[in-house]
């Protein structure tokens, strides 16, 4: 296989950007973090009018900048024996019930311990359409979001499931708890999402972003929070979290988007937000049969609901999702 080619990104300093630091401009133009941009500048991969400058260089309007981004170093994805909870499986696909804290696929900084490493360690076939590092993945979940995720075993299934997802024929419903109370029992947020121009690790509502729509239904109004069912119509990165934060009701425990305070009040452990992919419905890529796959709340989220509702039975005996009608049609 031929080595991957470097990516070259040329751009010109706009008048509105004159006087800004070079590392910020490179990060914005190339969709990189500021640290990544600074590393490229320090290693001579960024030229301003043909010359090297420092990351702190203040750009001048009209200057031509050329950024050369080397290909990532090749890394073999190693199969690992990591236990997984399987919610459904046959010869064409597997639905994994992912634990919070697990990264979905290998990437710089997370080459091992990911869901893909674990899937490869099972010894089952995986579709190759997404490449080795994304073997079989049809969609993704954030690291700290738990729940159901579809993986294709064959390329035929991967193509069919990806097409169904793009055509919005896969129903994905999440349970979330947000701070405060929505203005109405049902609310739709239809707002485009893109990377935050000033912090590449975050997403933001941006006029030029990709279309994103989420429907929210309030299942319970508790003392200081709402228990919600969220229905994704699109699948943008951090979509539910960004949309709830944008209307002033961030997901509890979400440090990135303003919901991280009050974990003790919410009964949540560290590094955990209350977002769980609990329900998938889709047509089987081979048989066409309707698959309805459900995931119970993980123990730490059951404890949180028990704390927030002052109903201790939710931790062990009563299923809060069933109690509050999460799986009811509508």
Convert the pLDDT of each residue in 36-95 to its tens digit.
899 999 999 999 999 999 999 999 999 999 999 887 666 678 899 999 999 999 999 999
Residue 321, exposed/middle/buried by CB under 10 A (0-12, 13-18, 19+)? buried
Q: Does this model's pTM top 0.75?
A: yes
Residue 2 has pLDDT above 50, yes or no: no
Residue 5 has pLDDT above 60, yes or no: yes
pLDDT reported for residue 211? 95
Convert the pLDDT of each residue in 246-283 to its tens digit.
999 999 999 999 999 888 899 999 889 999 999 999 99
The pLDDT confidence band at residue 330, using thresholds 50, 70 and 90, is low
Domain with CATH 3.10.290.10 in the chain: 7-69
Residue 96, exposed/middle/buried by CB under 10 A (0-12, 13-18, 19+)? buried
Token output for 178: 């947000």
pLDDT reported for residue 288? 97
Convert the pLDDT of each residue in 132-178 to its tens digit.
778 899 999 999 999 999 999 999 999 999 999 999 999 999 999 99
Torsion angles phi and psi, residue 15, rounded to 5 = -55, -35
**What does DSSP say about strands 225-232 and 171-179: parallel, antiparallel, or unpaired?**
antiparallel
Domain 171-279+292-323: which CATH class?
alpha beta
Alpha carbon 174 to chain centroid, angstroms: 13
Active-site choice (17, 23, 97, 142): 142
6 against 257, higher pLDDT? 257
Domain 85-166: which CATH class?
alpha beta
pLDDT reported for residue 1? 36
Domain with CATH 3.30.2350.10 in the chain: 85-166, 171-279+292-323
Rounded distance between C-alpha atoms, residue 145 and residue 23, angstroms: 31
7-69 — its CATH code? 3.10.290.10
Distances (CA, A) of 125 to 46, 132, 133, 153, 174: 42, 12, 14, 5, 28
Q: Is 142 designated active site?
A: yes
């Amino acid at each position: 296989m031929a080595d991957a080619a470097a990516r070259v990104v040329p751009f010109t300093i706009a008048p509105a950007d004159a006087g800004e630091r070079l590392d910020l401009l490179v990060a914005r133009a190339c969709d990189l973090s500021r640290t990544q941009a600074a590393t490229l500048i320090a290693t001579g991969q960024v030229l301003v009018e043909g010359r090297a400058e420092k990351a702190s260089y203040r750009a001048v309007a009209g200057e031509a900048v050329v950024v050369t981004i080397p290909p990532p170093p090749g890394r073999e994805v190693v199969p690992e024996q990591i236990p997984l909870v399987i919610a459904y499986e046959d010869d064409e696909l597997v639905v994994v019930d992912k634990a919070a804290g697990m990264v979905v696929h290998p990437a710089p900084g997370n080459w091992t311990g990911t869901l893909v490493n674990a899937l490869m360690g099972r010894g089952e076939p995986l579709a190759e359409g997404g490449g080795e590092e994304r073997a079989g993945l049809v969609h993704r979940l954030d690291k700290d979001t738990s729940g159901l995720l579809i993986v294709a075993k064959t390329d035929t299934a991967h193509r069919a499931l990806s097409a169904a997802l793009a055509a919005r024929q896969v129903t994905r419903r999440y349970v979330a708890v947000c701070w405060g109370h929505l203005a109405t029992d049902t609310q739709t947020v239809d707002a485009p999402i893109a990377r935050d121009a000033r912090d590449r690790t975050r997403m933001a509502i941006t006029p030029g972003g990709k279309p994103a729509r989420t429907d929210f239904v309030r299942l319970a109004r508790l003392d200081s929070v709402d228990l919600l069912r969220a229905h994704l119509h699109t699948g943008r990165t951090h979509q539910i979290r960004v949309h709830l934060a944008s209307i002033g009701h961030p997901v509890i425990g979400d440090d990135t988007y303003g919901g991280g305070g009050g974990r003790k009040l919410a009964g949540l452990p560290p590094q955990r937000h209350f977002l769980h992919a609990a329900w998938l419905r889709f047509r089987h890529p081979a048989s066409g049969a309707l698959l309805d796959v459900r995931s119970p709340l993980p123990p730490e989220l059951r404890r949180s609901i028990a704390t927030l509702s002052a109903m201790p039975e939710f931790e062990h005996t009563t299923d809060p999702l069933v109690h509050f009608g999460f799986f009811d049609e509508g």
